[in-house]
Amino acid sequence: MKTDPLGRGLSAILQDEEKASSKLIPIGRISPNKTQPRLKIDEKSIAELASSIKGKGLLQPIILRRKDKGYEIIAGERRFRAAVMAGLKEVPAIIKDVDEKEALEIALIENLQREDLNPLEIAIVYERFTEEFSYTHEELAHKMGVDRSSVSNFIRLLKLPQWIKDHVTEGKLTQGHARALLALKSEKEQKRFVDRVLKEGTSVRELERQTRKKNVQRISAFSSIEEDLQKVLQTKVNITFKRNKGKIIIEFYSKEDLERIAECISEN
């Protein structure tokens, strides 16, 4: 039997959306969802959608859930904002009886399918799943139909300095560029390479080559040990040594990841 990558019942909600009967809900009874996945909504695209709605109406219902004495948006934030801008008094909506976790799942999947969240928005939502709802990286990967490493790599992006994350959000740097920058040891080095990408249009592959070359230049006598540990533990390992003492720094990205590493160490 084929596994449902969106989780039992979740894909059915989305697939049946068009078939479900919608009802007209007054704009004044609807409130935005403060926890919705999208961090930045392009006002120009909202205006364009509003213009379309004025001419043709809102063709696709938004998804709501009951909250307090009104309704909260689960999915369709852009459509709702555009409807308000277009001057609509009420919008077609499908009401779902779901809890906080299910609402976030639907919002994420709806955005992934239709609006393409930027990498930082995906990373933040993935982290929320792990922290608020106690998903392991493995469980979340299964839920989203991706590899576990993909989930971990997205969440790792949140370790970058805010100014780099801003460049990713604005589309000046790709996720591939951001991942390559994680290999650099200092923010000063990251800034130098980011400036090069912005000025010269350096590709992801070239940036990866340049950062690897930079790391090779500072390889210590312990680099082979670092490499061996990284293969065994399947995570980034850094060894520092000075004045006959040193540190082994092992990175982990969730409680599940830490438990996995601890198990690897105990077995070896």
Which residues are tagged catalytic? 77
**Which DSSP state fits 232?**
H
Residues β-bridged to residue 75: 63
In the three-class reduction of DSSP (H, G, I as helix; E, B as strand; rest coil), residue 92 is classed as: strand
Structure tokens at 36: 């919705």
CB atoms near residue 88 (< 10 Å)? 19
Structure tokens at 62: 């938004």
Residues 37-53: b if buried by 16+ CB within 10 A, e if exposed: bbeeeeeeebeebbeeb
Distance CA 18, CA 21 (A): 8
Distance CA 139, CA 145 (A): 10
Residue type, 91: V
Q: What angle do CA 166, 171, 177 make, to 5 degrees?
A: 85
